[in-house]
Amino acid sequence: MATRWIVLVALVLAAIATTPGPAQSQAPIKIGVIEPLSGPVAASGNYVRMGAEIARDWLNARGGVNGRKIDLVIEDNKSDPKEAASAAEKLIVRDRVPAIMGAWGSSMTLAAMPKLEEYGVPMVVETSSAASITKRGNPWIFRISPPSEMEALGLEQYVDKLGVKRADFLAVNTDWGRGAISAFGDMLKRRGAVVGAAEFMDQAATDMNAQLTKIKGTGGDTLFLTTAVEQITLVMKQAQEQRLARKIITTGGSSSPTQLVKQAGAAAEGSYHIVFFMPWFPEAMPDGKLARMFVDEWSKRGHPFEGLTEGFRGHDGIATLAEAIRVAGKDEPKAIRDALWKVSLVGVNGPIKFEKDGPAGKESGQSKPSIFVVQIKDGKVALPW
């Protein structure tokens, strides 16, 4: 009898020892975030971070994912591609994150991508628009932002209304800027418009007068401008000083028209902007209720309104990864990667669902985002048509 009790107690103790305790079973799910939190495009990166934190808090308030809280592990890529690659490796090797969102700029994302493939960890790309990101053949990449070609197609329907006959380009000298000139230039040529000068500027440049002087001499009617909002502000002011009489159209969704109204003033008047979220008209978004909730939450936290056109990206990126983890049923990199192909949700931008893009057998995922055009009229952001 005593022996049977001893055996029974031993079995119970063994079962207890092998059963996960509350702390173990409820350990938070880590999601890595790589953004430019310092450097020339720090404002945009921090807005994306703020949006990611809203998504995390909303998810955790609803009980997390599969009963576990979400924990963001955030790294600063310092607006530098080398730092982006180092940040990706740190998150994977030291922090052991099973998935990452990042890395804002195309050059930064492209630099991080080999690390994702080397270690087998998926990344949701929330901002970058260079076509090569999904064309290179990296099966761990899933992009929710539009490549420049998709963005150009979104604008094509408005070319006649905009009256573009001869266009020039000024872009940041990165994969993003070069890709934008190629994509929008090809689209305009198809529409019968003349493509004139293509000028570049360094990411940290503050004096673009030489480029604007060359553009002024082409006789064009439209200037396509591709860079972050800080540099757009400078270009607009310098263009005004040179009396450059052109329609200005910004690409990439990173113009933050509200910020331009504040910082560029009259120099921004009449300009057009491609955006992927319209916080001024949330009811016009695919899910008006979600858009309004996001705008209200952003305001409640005291974040600047002008950051909303970047902040939504962070929300949608984290929401996408959280849904993939829910579908996968576990926070394991390959399971999350496989589950991303099954994700179907509506974010602040609109529907998110991935289609294959890139070489056969090594396809990346590409969603088809909503694309909008707004204009600055009488010092306010307005719908142009």
**pLDDT tens track for 59-103:** 999 999 999 999 999 999 999 999 999 999 999 999 999 999 999
3 state SS of 227 = coil
pLDDT, tens digit (0-9, with 9 covering 90-100), for 32-51: 999 999 999 999 999 999 99
Q: Which CATH number fits domain 25-146+286-366: 3.40.605.10, 3.40.50.800, 3.40.50.2300, 3.30.230.70?
A: 3.40.50.2300
What confidence category does residue 238 fall into, taking pLDDT thresholds of 50, 70 and 90? very high
Mean pLDDT of the chain: 94
- Burial of 30 (C-beta count, 10 Å sphere; 0-12/13-18/19+): middle
Sign of CA dihedral 287, 292, 297, 302: positive
CB 306 within 8 A of CB 262: yes
Q: What is the pLDDT of residue 25?
A: 53
CA distance 252 to 138: 23
Q: What is the pLDDT of residue 5?
A: 43
The highest-level CATH class for domain 150-275 is: alpha beta
- H-state helical runs in the chain: 2-18, 22-25, 42-61, 81-93, 106-119, 132-135, 148-156, 159-162, 175-190, 209-216, 229-241, 257-264, 288-300, 308-328, 333-340
Pairing of strands 372-377, 272-275: antiparallel
CB 373 within 8 A of CB 155: yes
- Quote the pTM value: 0.91
Q: What is the pLDDT of residue 12?
A: 39
Domain boundaries, the chain: 25-146+286-366, 150-275
Q: What is the separation of C-alpha 351 from the centre of its chain, rounded to a whole number of angstroms?
A: 15
